[in-house]
């Protein structure tokens, strides 16, 4: 238990150093663009592929389970829409990003720590925590909502194609997509995503930044980053859902 409190304390100390005015805005801007490319643009492919196929599977499975003649066919579109917007895109994509982006952040910072690159920054008088972590944090907070919106859109295309293969007509599927649509669902998904983006970037950065030792410990830090971020995302998902939807 004391270990958890020590981690929380160290995490907060690190975050106080991270949220600081950058030494040079021009350097910060350059770092931010680099991070947007690394954490954002490079994740588009995996988000597209996963969202498309999961969307398709959701639609086919819903159709398979609702074969009653009493149920209208448009319900397939409605169910796919709600499961994609409310849960799959914000939460499952965030868990996937915790694996992809989180492990990359932790291993990058961990390697920088064990090869003394972070020490080199500190000796120069650069606030290494802010210099290295703040651009990652902002890039994740800015880009993850975009990825989630993309995931929702691609997921729905996948669901439509899946629906076609389960004999759901395009008009029925589109009717279901639009039926009693509550725009707050999107807001809810984006709020969750922003929280998850903060958790993924900061928790992964914490484990990477505080790596000690060599290559084995970089691997351990990366694994811990993914596991802890995923657990926090799941707990936070429950709390935010309870707060925003109940």
Shortest distance, CB of residue 25 to another protein, whole angstroms?
A: 11
Cβ neighbours of residue 91 closer than 8 Å, sequence gap 6 or more: 192, 196, 233, 234, 237
Extended beta strands in the chain, E state: none
**13 contacts another protein (rule: CB under 8 A):** no
**178 contacts another protein (rule: CB under 8 A):** no
Residue closer to another protein, measured from CB, 26 or 70: 26
**235 contacts another protein (rule: CB under 8 A):** no
Residue closer to another protein, measured from CB, 22 or 219: 22
Neighbours of 132 (CB within 10 A): 24
Separation of alpha carbons 242 and 120, rounded Å = 45
Shortest distance, CB of residue 176 to another protein, whole angstroms?
A: 47
* Binds another protein by CB under 8 A, chosen from 2, 3, 21, 125: 125
Shortest distance, CB of residue 23 to another protein, whole angstroms?
A: 6
Shortest distance, CB of residue 140 to another protein, whole angstroms?
A: 18
Distance (Å) of CA 149 to CA 41, 112, 143, 155: 14, 33, 10, 10
Residue closer to another protein, measured from CB, 13 or 239: 13
Separation of alpha carbons 98 and 224, rounded Å = 11
Residue closer to another protein, measured from CB, 116 or 167: 116
**26 contacts another protein (rule: CB under 8 A):** yes
**126 contacts another protein (rule: CB under 8 A):** yes
For every residue of 125-167, DSSP letters joined together read T--HHHHHHHHHHHHHHHHHHHHHHHHHHHHHHHHHHHHHHTT
Matching residue, tokens 């975009």:
146
* Binds another protein by CB under 8 A, chosen from 33, 124, 231, 234: 124
Torsion of CA 11, 16, 17, 20, to 10 degrees: 140
* Binds another protein by CB under 8 A, chosen from 10, 42, 115, 182: 115
**44 contacts another protein (rule: CB under 8 A):** no
Q: How many binding residues for another protein (CB under 8 A)?
A: 15
Which residues of this chain interact with another protein, rule CB under 8 A?
A: 23-24, 26-27, 34, 115-117, 119-120, 122-126
């Amino acid at each position: 238990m004391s270990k958890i409190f020590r981690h929380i304390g160290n995490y907060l100390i690190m975050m106080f150093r991270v949220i600081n005015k950058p030494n040079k805005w021009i350097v910060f801007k350059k770092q931010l663009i680099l991070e947007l490319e690394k954490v954002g643009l490079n994740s588009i492919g995996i988000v597209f592929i996963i969202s498309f196929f999961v969307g398709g599977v959701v639609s086919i499975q819903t159709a398979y389970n609702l074969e009653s003649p009493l149920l209208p066919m448009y319900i397939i579109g409605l169910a796919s829409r709600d499961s994609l917007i409310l849960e799959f895109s914000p939460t499952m994509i965030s868990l996937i990003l915790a694996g992809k982006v989180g492990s990359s952040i932790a291993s990058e910072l961990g390697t920088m720590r064990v090869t003394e690159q972070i020490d080199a920054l500190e000796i120069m008088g650069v606030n290494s925590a802010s210099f290295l972590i703040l651009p990652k944090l902002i890039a994740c907070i800015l880009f993850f909502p975009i990825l989630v919106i993309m995931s929702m859109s691609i997921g729905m295309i996948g669901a439509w194609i899946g629906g076609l293969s389960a004999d759901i007509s395009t008009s029925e599927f589109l009717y279901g997509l639009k039926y009693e649509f509550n725009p707050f669902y999107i807001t809810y998904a984006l709020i969750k995503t922003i929280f998850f983006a903060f958790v993924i970037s900061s928790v992964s950065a914490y484990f990477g930044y505080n790596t000690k030792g060599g290559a084995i410990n970089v691997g351990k830090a990366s694994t811990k980053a993914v596991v802890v971020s995923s657990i926090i995302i799941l707990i936070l998902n429950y709390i935010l859902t309870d707060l925003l939807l109940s």
